[in-house]
Amino acid sequence: MKYAIVFGGMSYEHEISIVSAIALKDVLKSDLLFIFCDADREFYLIPVAKMKSKLFSSGEYRKETKLTLKNGGFYQKALLKEKQLDFDVAINLVHGGDGEDGKFAALFTFFGIPFIGPRVEASVLSFNKLYTKWYAREYGIDVLDYEVLHKGEYSVKTPCPFIIKPLRLGSSIGVSIVKEESELEYALDVAYEFDDAVLIEPFVEGVKEYNLAGCKAETFLFSIVEEPHKEEFLDFDKKYLDFSRTKQVLAADISEELKKRLHEAFKKIYNTHFEGALIRCDFFVIDDKIYLNEINPIPGSYANYLFEDFTSVVNQLAAHLPKERRIPVDYTYIHSIQKAKGK
């Protein structure tokens, strides 16, 4: 299987995507192409040997082959005509805007490119934290209490301590814990720099958190369950380092009964909406009750470090991607009108 890994994008998480792509270069044991989307939404074919962070931060990537996205795939200029890039499946590795908000899903679907990643519906549900709450509750999964504020609003009903998150952003960018009232205004101003709406949740001290990744091929393929080690929460710097992980981590020391319940919660979240994607769900366990914290539809480095055989999982997913329904257009209705009018 030959994969085209698409990364970058116009997003606050642009650099995280680069780190993820570099990590995947070492762990996905397959024939790989790397397609970089820069902040101007121009596409470049990056040689595997040049996949280093300095190429992008220096702007040197602009010397590489420029690509065009259109029906059927990506194309590069050849001597007399355009040449289509040869790959079997694209992997959407664009974190945040462009990749996780549905833009790339729509482009790949529209142009008929087979791809691993969330489809438009799944992107919408997981990119907006409020929609994620509604979705989880619809399928019987508990979530923490919450309130939403919009830019210019500073009155909060949730008692301290609480956590403030931009509504449509990941990687802990713009996230703050407010422990006393005097910290509120500054924390909201920070979050409003990144989004015009924020989510506020109670901050639960010492909460147990578990991460579980997986996808559905013929059957569900699950990773190990990880208990991330952290202080209060994973800030941007910790997550930045986290996304560069390529070695498998240790499984959480939990009972088989809890693992089974986490698997069942994951299945409910994945449902049919996330078919074609490898996702990571982050759960809280409070008083033996499971709560969904968030859905990562394109997890950092595709959560490779949670799988014993990451390449096998990707290959199985690639072989069972959902197919768009073909709708026949034969103009029967227009022909019938024309016939009735004698034209």
Note the pLDDT tens digit of each residue in 49-93: 999 999 999 999 999 999 999 999 999 998 788 999 999 999 999
Instruction: Give percent of the chain above pLDDT 90.
Output: 81
Looking at residue 247, its pLDDT comes to 72
* Single-letter code of the amino acid located at 272: T
Can you tell me which residue has the tokens 């509604």?
134
DSSP 227: -
What does pTM read for this prediction? 0.90
Looking at residue 244, its pLDDT comes to 58
Neighbours of 128 (CB within 10 A): 18
43: left (phi over 0), alpha (psi -120 to 50) or beta: beta
pLDDT digits 0-9 by tens, 235-273: 545 554 555 566 778 889 999 999 999 999 999 999 999
- Strand arrangement of the beta sheet that strand 279-286 belongs to: 220-226, 208-216, 279-286, 289-296
DSSP-based three-state secondary structure for 326: coil
Q: Which of the four pLDDT bands, split at 50, 70 and 90, describes residue 228?
A: confident
pLDDT digits 0-9 by tens, 22-55: 999 989 999 999 999 999 999 999 999 999 999 9
User: Any idea what the Cα angle at residue 159 is, between residues 153 and 165, rounded to 5°?
Assistant: 55
Averaged pLDDT of the chain: 92
DSSP 127: H
Q: Which of the four pLDDT bands, split at 50, 70 and 90, describes residue 231?
A: low
Distance CA 197, CA 13 (A): 18
pLDDT digits 0-9 by tens, 273-297: 999 999 999 999 999 999 999 999 9
Distance CA 155, CA 153 (A): 6
Can you tell me which residue has the tokens 């991330």?
228
